[in-house]
């Protein structure tokens, strides 16, 4: 696998965070071109594939808190998982609150769920999960939600409960001014500042601790991103960006962008350093993944190092993420990219890449046929257009195009989007397997709630 390592300029004070709602774009169609260049071949052939054909099922820590609290329950659901044709399982060990699911030196252990349920077992349930999964021939990965430290719907988590962590939370530049993210209750994730040196070290400590304590096959990092295009405008982010530029800003945040009124609606007007700001944010994310990979491989050279992002590349710059190959240069293709943007593509840092192809529409033709009333999107960076990448097929196609074969891709589905339409879910799963190296399903809780074990089995056949 080809590796490219470009070290961004980051200071020792660097402090610089995904949200449910997409921000208003400052360019038509979220800055994407009318006819982006993509691979004309739709599907991968068997000859194209040299990566393991994984079928991955996610176990979210919060949604499955109770069923992951008892050994017999863990064994029962792992039996069903294996019978459904799943090959890999992902156990969430650090949910969005910032708590962890094991006894840690660095983070509070999550014992009491916000529902009131208390986990009372003295058994090491993480180790039990690994052993039981292995006994069934399943490959085991763990996940940590990185740049997030609170749940805004329940007012829980690090930034709520630990006074020393309050200044870790992202500051969003909204049409109503600067807002700490804990005040933005439409966002469920209390995102953190990705370039904050303490935030970064906190997550690296947890990563090392898990790798030294447990024998997982892989790690898949989640929420390694900024909250959205409005984030992060903390004072420390300003200082870090100025160091990256090598000059002080005369007007902040207006040198990045400013809010203007357009026909009674707020709209962003880019400032002179807007594209430099976007590139700097991707450098922050790149450098963290570079550090995390080095740490993981130091502890366990055989660990599968993975990451999980959204699959809508043309607008994913809004969360500060460039998951492409560094050989893919978006400069000239997209008006949000400057000449440095491609340097921070991190595909070459990964052994496994799973994407959220989170669309009800399976084919590009289906999304093209939508009307405005039918467009319902809520993930960070998503827009409201009918571009082809807002489908399972299209998002897989463009992701594969920009990654350029540097890492195996496992396209993923959000099961809840298919509630009441199991046939569409199966079609989407088969499209993921056709267009990528396999399938990722989020989350087991929906398979359980819908009693879709037969449906899941059909999707993996």
**Range of weakest confidence among 2-11, 180-189, 322-331, 379-388:** 2-11
Instruction: Name the pLDDT band for 22 (thresholds 50, 70, 90).
Output: very low
15 in a structural domain: no
Mean pLDDT of the chain: 89
- Give residue 368's pLDDT: 87
Average pLDDT for 157-180: 97
104 in a structural domain: yes
133 in a structural domain: yes
390 in a structural domain: yes
What is the 3 state secondary structure string of the chain?
CCCCCCCCCCCCCCCCCCCCCCCCCCCHHHHCCCCCCCCCCCCCCHHHCCCCCEEEEEECCCCCCCCCCCHHHHHHHHHHHHHCCCCEEEEEEECCCCCECCCCCCCCECCECCCCCECCCCCCHHHHHHHHHHHCCCEEEEEEECCEEEECCCCECHHHHCHHHHHHECEEEECCEEEEHHHCCCCCEEEECCCCHHHHHHHHHHHHHHHHHCCCCEEEEECCCCCCCCECCCHHHHHHHHHHHCCCCCCCCCCCEEEEEECCEEEEEECCCHHHHHHHHHHHHHHHHHHHHHHHHHHCCCCEEEEEEECCHHHHHHHCCCCCCCCCCCECCECCCCCCHHHHCCHHHCCEEEEECCCCCCCHHHHHCCCHHHCCCCCCCCCCCCCCCCCHHHHHHHHHHHHCCCCCEEEEEEHHHHCCCHHHHHHHHHHHHHHCCEEEEECHHHHHHHCCHHHHHHHHC
Instruction: Name the pLDDT band for 448 (thresholds 50, 70, 90).
Output: very high
- Give residue 6's pLDDT: 34
- Give residue 382's pLDDT: 59
Please write the tens of the pLDDT for every residue from 204-259: 999 999 999 999 999 999 999 999 999 999 999 999 999 999 999 999 999 999 99
10 in a structural domain: no
Average pLDDT for 80-87: 98
179 in a structural domain: yes
Please write the tens of the pLDDT for every residue from 401-420: 999 999 999 999 999 999 99
- Give residue 328's pLDDT: 98
- Give residue 14's pLDDT: 31
**pLDDT exceeds 90 at position 177:** yes
**pLDDT exceeds 50 at position 44:** yes
- Give residue 375's pLDDT: 56
- Residue 455, domain extent: 28-460
- Give residue 29's pLDDT: 33
Average pLDDT for 375-399: 78
- Give residue 160's pLDDT: 97
For the chain, how many structural domains are there in total?
Answer: 1
Please write the tens of the pLDDT for every residue from 141-159: 999 999 999 999 999 999 9
- What share of the chain has pLDDT > 70, as a percent? 86
Instruction: Name the pLDDT band for 34 (thresholds 50, 70, 90).
Output: very low
**pLDDT exceeds 50 at position 340:** yes
**pLDDT exceeds 70 at position 73:** yes
The CATH number for 256's domain is 3.20.20.80
**Range of weakest confidence among 37-51, 91-105, 307-321:** 37-51
189 in a structural domain: yes
**Range of weakest confidence among 81-90, 171-180, 373-382:** 373-382
pTM listed for this prediction: 0.89
**pLDDT exceeds 90 at position 386:** no
281 in a structural domain: yes
**Range of weakest confidence among 225-234, 346-355, 368-377:** 368-377
Instruction: Name the pLDDT band for 387 (thresholds 50, 70, 90).
Output: confident
Instruction: Name the pLDDT band for 17 (thresholds 50, 70, 90).
Output: very low
């Amino acid at each position: 696998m080809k590796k490219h390592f470009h070290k961004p300029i980051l200071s020792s004070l660097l402090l610089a965070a995904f949200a449910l709602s997409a921000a208003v774009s400052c360019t038509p169609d979220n800055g994407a071109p009318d006819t982006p260049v993509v691979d004309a071949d739709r599907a991968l052939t068997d000859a194209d594939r040299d990566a393991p054909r994984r079928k991955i099922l996610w176990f979210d820590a919060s949604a499955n808190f109770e069923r992951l609290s008892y050994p017999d329950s863990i064994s029962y659901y792992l039996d069903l998982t294996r019978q459904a044709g799943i090959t890999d399982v992902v156990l969430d060990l650090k949910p969005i609150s910032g708590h962890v699911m094991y006894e840690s030196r660095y983070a509070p252990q999550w014992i009491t769920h916000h529902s009131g349920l208390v986990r009372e077992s003295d058994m090491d349930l993480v180790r039990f999960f690994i052993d039981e999964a292995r006994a069934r021939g399943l490959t085991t990965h763990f996940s940590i939600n990185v740049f997030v430290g609170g749940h805004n719907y329940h007012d829980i988590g690090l930034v709520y409960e630990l006074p020393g962590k309050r200044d870790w939370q992202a500051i969003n530049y909204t049409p109503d001014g600067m807002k700490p993210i804990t005040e933005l209750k439409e966002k469920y994730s209390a995102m953190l500042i990705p370039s904050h040196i303490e935030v970064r070290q906190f997550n690296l400590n947890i990563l090392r601790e898990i790798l030294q304590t447990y024998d997982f096959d892989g790690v898949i990092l989640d929420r390694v991103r900024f909250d959205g295009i409005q984030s992060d405008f903390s004072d420390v982010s300003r200082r870090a960006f100025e160091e990256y530029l090598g000059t002080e800003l005369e007007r902040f945040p207006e040198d990045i962008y400013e809010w203007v009124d357009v026909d009674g609606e707020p709209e962003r007007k880019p400032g002179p350093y807007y594209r430099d700001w976007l590139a700097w944010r991707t450098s922050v994310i790149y450098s963290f993944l570079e550090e995390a990979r080095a740490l993981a491989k130091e502890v366990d050279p055989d660990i599968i190092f993975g990451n999980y992002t959204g699959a809508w590349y043309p607008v994913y710059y809004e969360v500060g993420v460039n998951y492409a190959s560094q050989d893919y240069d978006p400069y000239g293709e997209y008006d949000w990219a400057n000449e440095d943007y491609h340097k921070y593509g991190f595909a070459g840092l990964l052994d496994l890449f799973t994407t959220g192809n989170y669309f009800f529409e399976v084919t590009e033709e289906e999304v093209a046929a939508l009307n405005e009333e039918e467009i319902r999107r809520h993930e960070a960076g998503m827009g409201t257009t009918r571009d082809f990448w807002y489908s399972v097929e299209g998002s897989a196609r463009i992701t594969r195009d920009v990654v350029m074969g540097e890492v195996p891709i496992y396209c993923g589905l959000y099961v809840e989007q298919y509630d009441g339409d199991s046939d569409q879910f199966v079609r989407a799963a088969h499209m993921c397997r056709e267009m990528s190296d396999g399938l990722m399903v989020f989350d087991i809780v929906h398979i359980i709630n819908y009693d879709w074990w037969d449906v899941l089995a059909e999707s993996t056949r």
